[in-house]
Structure 1
Amino acid sequence: MSTTEVPVSPAVVAVPDTKAEQTSKASTSGVKSFLSGGFGGMCLVAAGHPLDLLKVRMQTSSEYKSTLDCLRKTLAENGIRGMYRGMAAPLVGATPVFAICFWGYDMGQKIMRYAYNMSPTDQLSTSQILFAGGFSAIPTTAVMAPMERIKCNLQVTSASGSGTAYKGPVDAALGIVRAGGITSLFKGTCATLLRDVPGSVAYFGAYELIKKSLTNQGAGQGSISPLAIVTAGGLAGMANWAVAIPPDVLKSRLQTAPDGRYTGVRQVFIEMMRTEGAGALFRGMGPALLRAFPANAACFLGVELSLQFMNGLW
Protein backbone atom coordinates (compact mmCIF):
# COMPACT_ATOMS: atom_id res chain seq x y z
CA MET A 1 0.00 0.00 0.00
CA SER A 2 1.80 3.05 -1.17
CA THR A 3 1.67 6.47 0.41
CA THR A 4 3.40 8.10 -2.54
CA GLU A 5 1.34 11.16 -3.30
CA VAL A 6 1.04 11.76 -6.97
CA PRO A 7 -1.70 13.41 -9.02
CA VAL A 8 -3.50 11.02 -11.37
CA SER A 9 -4.76 11.68 -14.88
CA PRO A 10 -6.76 9.21 -16.99
CA ALA A 11 -3.49 8.10 -18.58
CA VAL A 12 -0.74 8.45 -16.01
CA VAL A 13 0.05 9.29 -12.43
CA ALA A 14 2.69 12.02 -12.60
CA VAL A 15 4.97 13.20 -9.84
CA PRO A 16 4.85 16.99 -9.29
CA ASP A 17 7.66 18.82 -11.03
CA THR A 18 8.50 21.40 -8.40
CA LYS A 19 10.11 20.79 -5.05
CA ALA A 20 7.71 23.27 -3.45
CA GLU A 21 4.72 21.23 -4.59
CA GLN A 22 6.33 18.02 -3.34
CA THR A 23 7.12 19.51 0.05
CA SER A 24 3.59 20.91 0.38
CA LYS A 25 2.01 17.54 -0.34
CA ALA A 26 4.47 15.75 1.91
CA SER A 27 3.28 17.90 4.83
CA THR A 28 -0.25 16.46 4.54
CA SER A 29 0.73 12.93 3.52
CA GLY A 30 -0.36 11.43 6.85
CA VAL A 31 -3.93 12.63 6.42
CA LYS A 32 -4.08 11.63 2.78
CA SER A 33 -2.56 8.22 3.51
CA PHE A 34 -5.15 7.64 6.23
CA LEU A 35 -8.11 8.53 4.01
CA SER A 36 -6.86 6.84 0.85
CA GLY A 37 -5.99 3.71 2.81
CA GLY A 38 -9.55 3.40 4.07
CA PHE A 39 -10.97 3.70 0.57
CA GLY A 40 -8.46 1.23 -0.80
CA GLY A 41 -9.36 -1.25 1.93
CA MET A 42 -13.03 -1.09 1.00
CA CYS A 43 -12.13 -1.80 -2.62
CA LEU A 44 -10.00 -4.77 -1.55
CA VAL A 45 -12.73 -6.37 0.55
CA ALA A 46 -15.39 -5.99 -2.13
CA ALA A 47 -13.14 -7.56 -4.76
CA GLY A 48 -11.58 -10.35 -2.74
CA HIS A 49 -13.96 -11.61 -0.06
CA PRO A 50 -15.34 -14.75 -1.81
CA LEU A 51 -11.85 -16.20 -2.25
CA ASP A 52 -10.92 -15.16 1.28
CA LEU A 53 -13.86 -17.22 2.52
CA LEU A 54 -12.60 -20.28 0.61
CA LYS A 55 -9.13 -19.75 2.08
CA VAL A 56 -10.38 -19.70 5.66
CA ARG A 57 -12.64 -22.74 5.16
CA MET A 58 -9.77 -24.75 3.71
CA GLN A 59 -7.46 -23.69 6.54
CA THR A 60 -9.87 -24.73 9.27
CA SER A 61 -11.18 -28.00 7.81
CA SER A 62 -9.67 -31.06 6.15
CA GLU A 63 -12.86 -32.03 4.28
CA TYR A 64 -11.93 -30.12 1.12
CA LYS A 65 -9.71 -31.73 -1.51
CA SER A 66 -8.96 -28.54 -3.46
CA THR A 67 -10.03 -24.95 -4.02
CA LEU A 68 -12.57 -26.06 -6.62
CA ASP A 69 -13.96 -28.70 -4.25
CA CYS A 70 -14.32 -26.07 -1.53
CA LEU A 71 -16.07 -23.72 -3.97
CA ARG A 72 -18.45 -26.44 -5.15
CA LYS A 73 -19.42 -27.51 -1.63
CA THR A 74 -19.82 -23.94 -0.41
CA LEU A 75 -22.11 -23.07 -3.31
CA ALA A 76 -24.11 -26.29 -2.86
CA GLU A 77 -24.51 -25.64 0.85
CA ASN A 78 -25.14 -21.91 0.96
CA GLY A 79 -25.65 -20.66 -2.59
CA ILE A 80 -23.97 -17.64 -4.13
CA ARG A 81 -24.87 -15.51 -1.11
CA GLY A 82 -22.82 -17.90 1.00
CA MET A 83 -19.68 -16.68 -0.80
CA TYR A 84 -20.15 -13.34 0.95
CA ARG A 85 -20.74 -14.77 4.43
CA GLY A 86 -18.85 -12.70 6.99
CA MET A 87 -18.17 -9.80 4.60
CA ALA A 88 -19.94 -7.18 6.71
CA ALA A 89 -17.31 -7.32 9.46
CA PRO A 90 -14.24 -6.79 7.24
CA LEU A 91 -16.10 -4.27 5.08
CA VAL A 92 -17.04 -2.16 8.09
CA GLY A 93 -13.59 -2.68 9.55
CA ALA A 94 -11.71 -2.11 6.29
CA THR A 95 -11.84 1.67 6.55
CA PRO A 96 -10.12 2.01 9.94
CA VAL A 97 -7.84 -1.02 9.42
CA PHE A 98 -6.43 0.06 6.07
CA ALA A 99 -6.48 3.72 7.05
CA ILE A 100 -4.32 2.90 10.07
CA CYS A 101 -2.11 0.64 7.96
CA PHE A 102 -1.44 3.37 5.41
CA TRP A 103 -0.93 5.89 8.18
CA GLY A 104 1.48 3.46 9.85
CA TYR A 105 3.40 3.06 6.61
CA ASP A 106 3.64 6.84 6.30
CA MET A 107 4.82 7.08 9.92
CA GLY A 108 7.43 4.38 9.23
CA GLN A 109 8.75 6.43 6.34
CA LYS A 110 8.87 9.55 8.49
CA ILE A 111 10.81 7.67 11.17
CA MET A 112 13.37 6.70 8.54
CA ARG A 113 13.60 10.24 7.22
CA TYR A 114 14.09 11.60 10.74
CA ALA A 115 16.64 8.92 11.68
CA TYR A 116 18.72 9.56 8.55
CA ASN A 117 18.16 13.35 8.45
CA MET A 118 16.41 13.18 5.06
CA SER A 119 14.12 15.77 3.51
CA PRO A 120 10.49 14.94 2.56
CA THR A 121 11.51 14.75 -1.10
CA ASP A 122 14.49 12.40 -0.69
CA GLN A 123 14.00 8.89 -2.06
CA LEU A 124 14.01 6.14 0.56
CA SER A 125 16.29 3.14 0.11
CA THR A 126 14.89 -0.37 -0.24
CA SER A 127 15.77 -1.25 3.35
CA GLN A 128 14.06 1.90 4.61
CA ILE A 129 10.91 1.04 2.64
CA LEU A 130 10.95 -2.46 4.08
CA PHE A 131 11.23 -1.06 7.62
CA ALA A 132 8.29 1.26 7.00
CA GLY A 133 6.24 -1.64 5.65
CA GLY A 134 6.93 -3.79 8.70
CA PHE A 135 6.23 -0.89 11.04
CA SER A 136 2.77 -0.40 9.51
CA ALA A 137 1.64 -3.77 10.90
CA ILE A 138 2.14 -2.73 14.52
CA PRO A 139 -0.66 -0.12 14.91
CA THR A 140 -2.87 -2.05 12.48
CA THR A 141 -2.92 -5.24 14.55
CA ALA A 142 -4.82 -3.60 17.43
CA VAL A 143 -7.80 -3.09 15.10
CA MET A 144 -7.22 -6.05 12.78
CA ALA A 145 -7.14 -8.85 15.37
CA PRO A 146 -10.76 -8.57 16.65
CA MET A 147 -12.09 -8.04 13.12
CA GLU A 148 -10.26 -11.16 11.94
CA ARG A 149 -11.63 -13.10 14.91
CA ILE A 150 -15.22 -12.17 14.02
CA LYS A 151 -14.71 -12.72 10.28
CA CYS A 152 -13.14 -16.17 10.64
CA ASN A 153 -15.86 -17.37 13.01
CA LEU A 154 -18.55 -16.21 10.61
CA GLN A 155 -16.85 -17.83 7.65
CA VAL A 156 -16.59 -21.29 9.20
CA THR A 157 -20.19 -21.43 10.40
CA SER A 158 -22.43 -23.65 8.33
CA ALA A 159 -25.97 -23.20 7.12
CA SER A 160 -26.50 -26.94 7.70
CA GLY A 161 -26.27 -26.46 11.44
CA SER A 162 -22.72 -27.57 12.22
CA GLY A 163 -20.80 -25.24 14.49
CA THR A 164 -22.23 -22.07 16.03
CA ALA A 165 -24.57 -20.25 13.67
CA TYR A 166 -24.30 -16.47 13.89
CA LYS A 167 -26.76 -14.06 12.31
CA GLY A 168 -24.12 -11.48 11.52
CA PRO A 169 -20.96 -9.75 12.77
CA VAL A 170 -22.67 -8.10 15.76
CA ASP A 171 -24.20 -11.41 16.82
CA ALA A 172 -20.84 -13.12 16.34
CA ALA A 173 -19.05 -10.49 18.43
CA LEU A 174 -21.62 -10.78 21.21
CA GLY A 175 -21.42 -14.58 21.10
CA ILE A 176 -17.62 -14.51 21.34
CA VAL A 177 -17.78 -12.09 24.28
CA ARG A 178 -20.44 -14.16 26.06
CA ALA A 179 -18.35 -17.30 25.68
CA GLY A 180 -14.96 -15.93 26.65
CA GLY A 181 -15.25 -12.32 27.76
CA ILE A 182 -14.15 -9.13 26.02
CA THR A 183 -10.54 -10.30 25.88
CA SER A 184 -11.65 -13.25 23.73
CA LEU A 185 -12.16 -10.82 20.85
CA PHE A 186 -8.39 -10.33 20.83
CA LYS A 187 -7.54 -14.02 20.66
CA GLY A 188 -4.88 -14.45 17.99
CA THR A 189 -3.39 -10.96 18.32
CA CYS A 190 0.17 -12.28 18.49
CA ALA A 191 -0.56 -14.63 15.59
CA THR A 192 -1.94 -11.69 13.59
CA LEU A 193 1.23 -9.70 14.28
CA LEU A 194 3.35 -12.72 13.37
CA ARG A 195 1.54 -12.81 10.04
CA ASP A 196 1.35 -9.11 9.24
CA VAL A 197 4.86 -7.87 10.03
CA PRO A 198 6.67 -10.05 7.45
CA GLY A 199 3.65 -9.89 5.15
CA SER A 200 3.67 -6.08 5.18
CA VAL A 201 7.41 -6.00 4.55
CA ALA A 202 6.86 -8.11 1.42
CA TYR A 203 3.72 -6.19 0.48
CA PHE A 204 4.98 -2.64 0.54
CA GLY A 205 8.46 -3.60 -0.62
CA ALA A 206 7.13 -5.45 -3.66
CA TYR A 207 4.73 -2.66 -4.57
CA GLU A 208 7.30 0.11 -4.38
CA LEU A 209 9.97 -1.86 -6.25
CA ILE A 210 7.62 -3.10 -8.99
CA LYS A 211 6.03 0.32 -9.37
CA LYS A 212 9.47 1.88 -9.67
CA SER A 213 10.49 -0.63 -12.35
CA LEU A 214 7.34 0.19 -14.33
CA THR A 215 7.73 3.96 -13.97
CA ASN A 216 8.64 5.97 -17.04
CA GLN A 217 11.51 8.01 -15.67
CA GLY A 218 11.64 10.06 -18.86
CA ALA A 219 8.23 11.65 -18.28
CA GLY A 220 8.97 14.58 -15.95
CA GLN A 221 10.25 13.11 -12.70
CA GLY A 222 8.34 9.88 -13.30
CA SER A 223 4.93 8.62 -14.32
CA ILE A 224 2.98 5.43 -13.94
CA SER A 225 -0.10 4.25 -15.79
CA PRO A 226 -3.20 2.77 -14.11
CA LEU A 227 -2.31 -0.57 -15.71
CA ALA A 228 1.09 -0.45 -14.01
CA ILE A 229 -0.58 0.39 -10.68
CA VAL A 230 -2.88 -2.62 -11.07
CA THR A 231 0.07 -4.86 -12.00
CA ALA A 232 2.26 -3.70 -9.13
CA GLY A 233 -0.62 -3.89 -6.65
CA GLY A 234 -1.69 -7.37 -7.71
CA LEU A 235 1.84 -8.77 -7.58
CA ALA A 236 2.44 -7.09 -4.22
CA GLY A 237 -0.62 -8.86 -2.86
CA MET A 238 0.70 -12.21 -4.07
CA ALA A 239 4.10 -11.48 -2.51
CA ASN A 240 2.38 -10.72 0.78
CA TRP A 241 0.51 -14.03 0.88
CA ALA A 242 3.49 -16.04 -0.30
CA VAL A 243 5.15 -14.95 2.95
CA ALA A 244 2.11 -14.70 5.23
CA ILE A 245 0.12 -17.87 4.52
CA PRO A 246 1.78 -20.18 7.14
CA PRO A 247 1.21 -17.79 10.08
CA ASP A 248 -2.26 -17.05 8.65
CA VAL A 249 -3.13 -20.76 8.88
CA LEU A 250 -2.03 -20.77 12.53
CA LYS A 251 -4.02 -17.60 13.21
CA SER A 252 -7.20 -18.99 11.62
CA ARG A 253 -6.93 -22.25 13.59
CA LEU A 254 -6.38 -20.35 16.84
CA GLN A 255 -9.17 -17.83 16.31
CA THR A 256 -11.82 -20.38 15.32
CA ALA A 257 -11.01 -22.93 18.04
CA PRO A 258 -13.20 -23.15 21.17
CA ASP A 259 -11.96 -21.08 24.09
CA GLY A 260 -9.37 -23.03 26.05
CA ARG A 261 -8.51 -25.37 23.19
CA TYR A 262 -5.06 -23.83 22.67
CA THR A 263 -2.78 -21.92 25.00
CA GLY A 264 -1.34 -19.95 22.10
CA VAL A 265 -0.03 -20.02 18.57
CA ARG A 266 2.95 -22.18 19.61
CA GLN A 267 0.66 -25.02 20.66
CA VAL A 268 -1.29 -24.74 17.39
CA PHE A 269 1.97 -25.10 15.48
CA ILE A 270 3.19 -28.09 17.50
CA GLU A 271 -0.08 -29.99 17.14
CA MET A 272 -0.34 -29.27 13.43
CA MET A 273 3.18 -30.53 12.83
CA ARG A 274 2.50 -33.68 14.84
CA THR A 275 -0.88 -34.57 13.35
CA GLU A 276 -0.91 -33.04 9.84
CA GLY A 277 2.66 -32.28 8.84
CA ALA A 278 4.26 -29.18 7.34
CA GLY A 279 1.97 -29.24 4.32
CA ALA A 280 -0.93 -28.07 6.51
CA LEU A 281 0.80 -24.70 6.92
CA PHE A 282 0.18 -23.99 3.25
CA ARG A 283 -3.48 -25.03 3.22
CA GLY A 284 -5.52 -22.31 1.55
CA MET A 285 -2.57 -21.06 -0.52
CA GLY A 286 -4.54 -21.50 -3.76
CA PRO A 287 -7.50 -19.24 -2.94
CA ALA A 288 -5.22 -16.81 -1.09
CA LEU A 289 -3.09 -16.23 -4.18
CA LEU A 290 -6.12 -16.22 -6.49
CA ARG A 291 -7.70 -13.56 -4.31
CA ALA A 292 -4.52 -11.57 -3.84
CA PHE A 293 -4.11 -10.25 -7.35
CA PRO A 294 -7.57 -8.78 -8.08
CA ALA A 295 -8.17 -7.68 -4.49
CA ASN A 296 -4.91 -5.81 -4.10
CA ALA A 297 -5.00 -4.47 -7.63
CA ALA A 298 -8.36 -2.93 -6.70
CA CYS A 299 -6.92 -1.68 -3.41
CA PHE A 300 -3.95 0.14 -4.92
CA LEU A 301 -6.01 1.55 -7.75
CA GLY A 302 -8.49 2.86 -5.19
CA VAL A 303 -5.65 4.36 -3.20
CA GLU A 304 -4.11 6.14 -6.17
CA LEU A 305 -7.47 7.41 -7.47
CA SER A 306 -8.45 8.73 -4.05
CA LEU A 307 -5.07 10.46 -3.81
CA GLN A 308 -5.80 12.05 -7.19
CA PHE A 309 -9.09 13.34 -5.85
CA MET A 310 -7.54 14.73 -2.66
CA ASN A 311 -4.58 16.24 -4.51
CA GLY A 312 -7.11 18.09 -6.64
CA LEU A 313 -8.75 19.53 -3.52
CA TRP A 314 -5.66 20.51 -1.48
Structure 2
Amino acid sequence: QVRLQTQPSSSPGQPPMYSGTFDCFRKTLIREGITGLYRGMAAPIIGVTPMFAVCFFGYGLGKRLQQKSPEDVLSYPQLFAAGMLSGVFTTGIMTPGERIKCLLQIQASSGETKYAGPLDCAKKLFKESGIRGIYKGTVLTLMRDVPASGMYFMTYEWLKNIFTPEGKSVNELSVPRILVAGGFAGIFNWAVAIPPDVLKSRFQTAPPGKYPNGFKDVLRELIRNEGVTSLYTGFTAVMIRAFPANAACFLGFEVAMKFLNWITPNL
Protein backbone atom coordinates (compact mmCIF):
# COMPACT_ATOMS: atom_id res chain seq x y z
CA GLN A 1 0.00 0.00 0.00
CA VAL A 2 2.66 2.54 1.06
CA ARG A 3 4.94 1.55 -1.81
CA LEU A 4 2.16 2.12 -4.31
CA GLN A 5 1.17 5.42 -2.75
CA THR A 6 4.69 6.83 -2.65
CA GLN A 7 6.25 5.48 -5.85
CA PRO A 8 7.89 8.27 -7.87
CA SER A 9 6.16 9.60 -10.96
CA SER A 10 7.37 7.86 -14.10
CA SER A 11 9.09 9.74 -16.91
CA PRO A 12 7.15 10.29 -20.16
CA GLY A 13 7.04 7.07 -22.12
CA GLN A 14 8.30 5.02 -19.18
CA PRO A 15 6.15 2.58 -17.19
CA PRO A 16 5.65 3.25 -13.47
CA MET A 17 7.69 1.34 -10.92
CA TYR A 18 4.59 -0.69 -10.01
CA SER A 19 1.67 -1.15 -12.39
CA GLY A 20 -0.64 -2.23 -9.59
CA THR A 21 -1.07 -4.19 -6.38
CA PHE A 22 -0.09 -7.59 -7.71
CA ASP A 23 2.88 -6.21 -9.65
CA CYS A 24 4.09 -4.55 -6.46
CA PHE A 25 3.63 -7.82 -4.58
CA ARG A 26 5.56 -9.78 -7.22
CA LYS A 27 8.47 -7.35 -7.46
CA THR A 28 8.79 -6.99 -3.70
CA LEU A 29 8.85 -10.76 -3.32
CA ILE A 30 11.50 -11.15 -6.02
CA ARG A 31 13.77 -8.36 -4.77
CA GLU A 32 13.43 -8.72 -1.01
CA GLY A 33 11.95 -12.13 -0.36
CA ILE A 34 9.06 -12.87 1.98
CA THR A 35 10.47 -10.53 4.64
CA GLY A 36 10.06 -7.61 2.25
CA LEU A 37 6.29 -8.00 2.50
CA TYR A 38 6.55 -7.27 6.22
CA ARG A 39 9.07 -4.43 6.01
CA GLY A 40 8.45 -1.73 8.59
CA MET A 41 5.77 -3.70 10.42
CA ALA A 42 7.54 -3.88 13.79
CA ALA A 43 6.48 -0.37 14.79
CA PRO A 44 2.77 -0.83 13.94
CA ILE A 45 2.71 -4.27 15.59
CA ILE A 46 4.15 -2.84 18.81
CA GLY A 47 1.48 -0.17 18.78
CA VAL A 48 -1.48 -2.22 17.58
CA THR A 49 -2.60 -3.57 20.97
CA PRO A 50 -2.59 -0.23 22.81
CA MET A 51 -3.98 1.44 19.70
CA PHE A 52 -7.06 -0.79 19.56
CA ALA A 53 -7.48 -0.57 23.33
CA VAL A 54 -7.49 3.22 23.09
CA CYS A 55 -9.69 3.07 19.98
CA PHE A 56 -12.46 1.07 21.64
CA PHE A 57 -12.08 3.06 24.84
CA GLY A 58 -12.52 6.29 22.89
CA TYR A 59 -15.59 4.89 21.17
CA GLY A 60 -17.10 3.78 24.46
CA LEU A 61 -16.38 7.16 26.00
CA GLY A 62 -17.91 8.90 23.01
CA LYS A 63 -21.10 6.91 23.49
CA ARG A 64 -21.20 7.53 27.24
CA LEU A 65 -20.83 11.28 26.77
CA GLN A 66 -23.98 11.30 24.65
CA GLN A 67 -26.08 9.05 26.86
CA LYS A 68 -28.16 10.21 29.80
CA SER A 69 -28.28 6.61 31.00
CA PRO A 70 -26.44 3.44 29.88
CA GLU A 71 -29.69 2.10 28.40
CA ASP A 72 -30.12 4.99 25.96
CA VAL A 73 -30.03 3.91 22.31
CA LEU A 74 -27.92 6.26 20.21
CA SER A 75 -28.78 7.35 16.69
CA TYR A 76 -26.42 6.58 13.84
CA PRO A 77 -25.09 10.17 13.70
CA GLN A 78 -24.35 9.89 17.42
CA LEU A 79 -22.53 6.61 16.86
CA PHE A 80 -20.57 8.30 14.07
CA ALA A 81 -19.61 11.09 16.47
CA ALA A 82 -18.51 8.56 19.10
CA GLY A 83 -16.37 6.84 16.49
CA MET A 84 -14.80 10.14 15.51
CA LEU A 85 -13.68 10.64 19.11
CA SER A 86 -11.91 7.28 19.00
CA GLY A 87 -9.98 8.52 15.96
CA VAL A 88 -8.75 11.50 17.95
CA PHE A 89 -7.59 9.21 20.73
CA THR A 90 -5.63 6.84 18.49
CA THR A 91 -3.73 9.50 16.54
CA GLY A 92 -1.09 9.87 19.24
CA ILE A 93 -0.19 6.20 18.87
CA MET A 94 -0.73 5.86 15.13
CA THR A 95 1.31 8.80 13.87
CA PRO A 96 4.82 7.75 14.97
CA GLY A 97 4.22 4.12 14.04
CA GLU A 98 2.99 5.09 10.58
CA ARG A 99 5.86 7.52 10.08
CA ILE A 100 8.46 4.87 10.88
CA LYS A 101 6.69 2.18 8.84
CA CYS A 102 6.47 4.41 5.77
CA LEU A 103 10.14 5.43 5.94
CA LEU A 104 11.33 1.84 6.30
CA GLN A 105 9.19 0.64 3.39
CA ILE A 106 10.33 3.46 1.12
CA GLN A 107 13.92 2.79 2.10
CA ALA A 108 13.55 -0.83 1.02
CA SER A 109 12.14 0.21 -2.36
CA SER A 110 14.90 2.74 -3.04
CA GLY A 111 17.72 0.39 -2.12
CA GLU A 112 19.22 2.85 0.38
CA THR A 113 19.85 1.81 3.97
CA LYS A 114 19.57 4.85 6.17
CA TYR A 115 17.75 3.12 9.02
CA ALA A 116 18.74 -0.24 10.50
CA GLY A 117 15.27 -0.81 11.93
CA PRO A 118 12.34 0.84 13.74
CA LEU A 119 14.29 1.88 16.84
CA ASP A 120 17.17 3.22 14.79
CA CYS A 121 14.68 5.13 12.64
CA ALA A 122 12.98 6.66 15.68
CA LYS A 123 16.35 7.58 17.20
CA LYS A 124 17.57 9.29 14.03
CA LEU A 125 14.30 11.13 13.48
CA PHE A 126 14.44 12.46 17.02
CA LYS A 127 18.07 13.48 16.61
CA GLU A 128 17.35 15.27 13.33
CA SER A 129 14.06 16.98 14.11
CA GLY A 130 13.07 16.25 17.69
CA ILE A 131 9.63 15.02 18.63
CA ARG A 132 8.15 16.91 15.67
CA GLY A 133 10.10 14.68 13.32
CA ILE A 134 8.57 11.56 14.84
CA TYR A 135 5.08 13.06 14.79
CA LYS A 136 5.28 14.47 11.27
CA GLY A 137 1.92 13.90 9.61
CA THR A 138 -0.22 14.24 12.74
CA VAL A 139 -2.77 16.54 11.09
CA LEU A 140 -3.15 14.21 8.12
CA THR A 141 -3.49 11.23 10.45
CA LEU A 142 -6.32 13.08 12.20
CA MET A 143 -7.88 13.90 8.83
CA ARG A 144 -7.78 10.21 8.00
CA ASP A 145 -8.72 8.58 11.28
CA VAL A 146 -11.41 10.90 12.66
CA PRO A 147 -13.99 10.55 9.85
CA ALA A 148 -12.89 7.01 9.00
CA SER A 149 -13.34 5.85 12.60
CA GLY A 150 -16.77 7.44 12.68
CA MET A 151 -17.71 5.48 9.57
CA TYR A 152 -16.08 2.35 10.99
CA PHE A 153 -18.13 2.11 14.16
CA MET A 154 -21.35 3.45 12.69
CA THR A 155 -21.23 0.87 9.89
CA TYR A 156 -20.53 -1.94 12.33
CA GLU A 157 -23.47 -1.00 14.57
CA TRP A 158 -25.74 -0.51 11.56
CA LEU A 159 -24.91 -3.92 10.11
CA LYS A 160 -25.28 -5.60 13.49
CA ASN A 161 -28.79 -4.19 13.73
CA ILE A 162 -29.61 -5.35 10.21
CA PHE A 163 -28.28 -8.85 10.87
CA THR A 164 -30.09 -9.25 14.19
CA PRO A 165 -33.28 -11.34 13.77
CA GLU A 166 -36.50 -9.76 14.98
CA GLY A 167 -37.08 -10.36 18.65
CA LYS A 168 -33.41 -11.10 19.29
CA SER A 169 -30.69 -8.99 20.92
CA VAL A 170 -27.62 -7.78 19.04
CA ASN A 171 -25.63 -9.47 21.81
CA GLU A 172 -26.84 -12.83 20.49
CA LEU A 173 -25.45 -12.30 17.00
CA SER A 174 -23.73 -15.35 15.52
CA VAL A 175 -20.00 -15.45 14.80
CA PRO A 176 -20.41 -15.43 10.98
CA ARG A 177 -22.62 -12.34 11.17
CA ILE A 178 -20.16 -10.57 13.45
CA LEU A 179 -17.39 -11.38 10.99
CA VAL A 180 -19.37 -10.01 8.04
CA ALA A 181 -20.35 -6.85 9.94
CA GLY A 182 -16.76 -6.28 11.05
CA GLY A 183 -15.36 -6.97 7.60
CA PHE A 184 -17.67 -4.52 5.87
CA ALA A 185 -17.04 -1.95 8.59
CA GLY A 186 -13.37 -2.18 7.66
CA ILE A 187 -14.17 -1.69 3.98
CA PHE A 188 -16.32 1.38 4.66
CA ASN A 189 -13.63 2.71 6.99
CA TRP A 190 -10.96 2.53 4.31
CA ALA A 191 -13.23 3.89 1.59
CA VAL A 192 -13.20 7.10 3.64
CA ALA A 193 -9.58 6.83 4.79
CA ILE A 194 -7.68 6.17 1.56
CA PRO A 195 -7.44 9.74 0.14
CA PRO A 196 -6.01 11.29 3.32
CA ASP A 197 -3.88 8.17 3.78
CA VAL A 198 -2.29 8.71 0.36
CA LEU A 199 -1.56 12.33 1.28
CA LYS A 200 -0.20 11.26 4.66
CA SER A 201 2.16 8.68 3.16
CA ARG A 202 3.51 11.21 0.66
CA PHE A 203 3.95 13.85 3.32
CA GLN A 204 5.58 11.56 5.89
CA THR A 205 8.15 10.23 3.41
CA ALA A 206 8.98 13.57 1.78
CA PRO A 207 12.33 15.28 2.44
CA PRO A 208 12.20 18.05 5.07
CA GLY A 209 10.89 21.31 3.66
CA LYS A 210 9.40 19.84 0.48
CA TYR A 211 5.83 20.70 1.47
CA PRO A 212 5.97 23.94 3.50
CA ASN A 213 2.18 24.34 3.44
CA GLY A 214 1.51 20.79 4.54
CA PHE A 215 -1.25 18.71 3.01
CA LYS A 216 -2.33 21.54 0.68
CA ASP A 217 0.97 21.30 -1.17
CA VAL A 218 0.81 17.51 -1.27
CA LEU A 219 -2.74 17.56 -2.62
CA ARG A 220 -1.93 20.20 -5.22
CA GLU A 221 1.14 18.35 -6.49
CA LEU A 222 -0.59 14.98 -6.53
CA ILE A 223 -3.61 16.15 -8.52
CA ARG A 224 -1.49 18.20 -10.90
CA ASN A 225 0.92 15.36 -11.69
CA GLU A 226 -1.21 12.24 -11.35
CA GLY A 227 -4.86 13.29 -11.38
CA VAL A 228 -7.69 12.90 -8.90
CA THR A 229 -7.70 9.10 -9.18
CA SER A 230 -4.24 9.02 -7.57
CA LEU A 231 -5.97 9.76 -4.26
CA TYR A 232 -7.15 6.15 -4.36
CA THR A 233 -3.75 4.62 -5.09
CA GLY A 234 -3.43 1.35 -3.22
CA PHE A 235 -7.20 0.80 -3.11
CA THR A 236 -6.97 -2.87 -4.09
CA ALA A 237 -4.22 -3.65 -1.59
CA VAL A 238 -6.14 -1.95 1.20
CA MET A 239 -9.42 -3.70 0.45
CA ILE A 240 -7.80 -7.13 0.26
CA ARG A 241 -6.62 -6.58 3.82
CA ALA A 242 -9.57 -4.60 5.18
CA PHE A 243 -12.24 -7.30 5.31
CA PRO A 244 -10.40 -10.16 7.07
CA ALA A 245 -8.41 -7.90 9.39
CA ASN A 246 -11.42 -6.01 10.68
CA ALA A 247 -13.66 -9.06 10.78
CA ALA A 248 -11.11 -10.63 13.14
CA CYS A 249 -10.78 -7.38 15.10
CA PHE A 250 -14.47 -7.07 15.88
CA LEU A 251 -14.83 -10.76 16.63
CA GLY A 252 -11.97 -10.46 19.11
CA PHE A 253 -13.63 -7.42 20.66
CA GLU A 254 -16.99 -9.15 21.03
CA VAL A 255 -15.42 -12.27 22.53
CA ALA A 256 -13.36 -10.18 24.94
CA MET A 257 -16.42 -8.20 26.04
CA LYS A 258 -18.45 -11.35 26.64
CA PHE A 259 -15.59 -12.83 28.65
CA LEU A 260 -15.21 -9.67 30.75
CA ASN A 261 -18.96 -9.48 31.34
CA TRP A 262 -18.89 -13.12 32.42
CA ILE A 263 -16.07 -12.78 34.95
CA THR A 264 -17.10 -9.32 36.19
CA PRO A 265 -20.87 -9.09 35.62
CA ASN A 266 -21.35 -6.19 38.03
CA LEU A 267 -18.45 -4.04 36.83
Task: Decide whether the 8 Å contact of 1:241 with 1:289 is kept in 2.
Answer: yes
User: Is the aligned partner of 1:61 residue 2:7?
Assistant: yes
Structure 1: how far apart are the matches of 2:44 and 2:170? 37
Cα distance change, pair 105–222 in 1 and its aligned pair in 2 (3 A): closer
User: Is the aligned partner of 1:182 residue 2:182?
Assistant: no
Amino acid corresponding to residue 83 of structure 1 in structure 2: L
Task: Decide whether the 8 Å contact of 1:198 with 1:243 is kept in 2.
Answer: yes
Give 1:121-136 correspondences, 5 Å limit: 121-136=71-86
- What are the superposed Cα offsets for residues 201-233 of structure 1, whole Å, 9 maximum, x if unpaired? 111111010011111242367520111111000
Task: Decide whether the 8 Å contact of 1:191 with 1:250 is kept in 2.
Answer: yes
In the alignment, which of 51, 74, 88 is matched to residue 138 of structure 1? 88
Counting matched residue pairs gives 255
Task: Decide whether the 8 Å contact of 1:158 with 1:165 is kept in 2.
Answer: no
Q: Mark the runs of 5 or more structure 2 residues left unpaired by the alignment.
A: 9-16
Determine helix, strand or coil for the equivalent of 1:219. Answer: coil
Amino acid corresponding to residue 57 of structure 1 in structure 2: R
Q: Which has the higher contact order (CA 8 A, sep 6+)?
A: 1
Structure 2: how far apart are the matches of 1:99 and 1:91? 13
Give 1:73-222 correspondences, 5 Å limit: 73-113=27-67, 118-158=68-108, 162-219=111-168
Structure 2: how far apart are the matches of 1:92 and 1:221? 32
Amino acid corresponding to residue 128 of structure 2 in structure 1: A
Amino acid corresponding to residue 270 of structure 1 in structure 2: R
Cα distance change, pair 220–179 in 1 and its aligned pair in 2 (3 A): closer
Question: What TM-score comes out, normalization by structure 2 length?
Answer: 0.91
Cα distance change, pair 270–121 in 1 and its aligned pair in 2 (3 A): same
Q: CA offset at residue 166 of structure 1?
A: 2.4
Task: Decide whether the 8 Å contact of 2:59 with 2:86 is kept in 1.
Answer: yes
Structure 1: how far apart are the matches of 2:256 and 2:33? 34
Structure 2: how far apart are the matches of 1:86 and 1:305? 30
- What are the superposed Cα offsets for residues 175-215 of structure 1, whole Å, 9 maximum, x if unpaired? 22223222111110000001111111111111010011111
User: Is the aligned partner of 1:237 residue 2:186?
Assistant: yes
- What are the superposed Cα offsets for residues 5-53 of structure 1, whole Å, 9 maximum, x if unpaired? xxxxxxxxxxxxxxxxxxxxxxxxxxxxxxxxxxxxxxxxxxxxxxxxx
Determine helix, strand or coil for the equivalent of 1:301. Answer: helix
Task: Decide whether the 8 Å contact of 1:233 with 1:297 is kept in 2.
Answer: yes
Cα distance change, pair 221–185 in 1 and its aligned pair in 2 (3 A): closer
Determine helix, strand or coil for the equivalent of 1:273. Answer: helix
Amino acid corresponding to residue 102 of structure 2 in structure 1: C
Identity within the alignment, %: 50
In the alignment, which of 227, 235, 245 is matched to residue 277 of structure 1? 227
Structure 2: how far apart are the matches of 1:186 and 1:225? 40
* Root-mean-square deviation (Å): 1.5
Determine helix, strand or coil for the equivalent of 2:26. Answer: helix
Cα distance change, pair 220–66 in 1 and its aligned pair in 2 (3 A): closer
Question: What TM-score comes out, normalization by structure 1 length?
Answer: 0.78
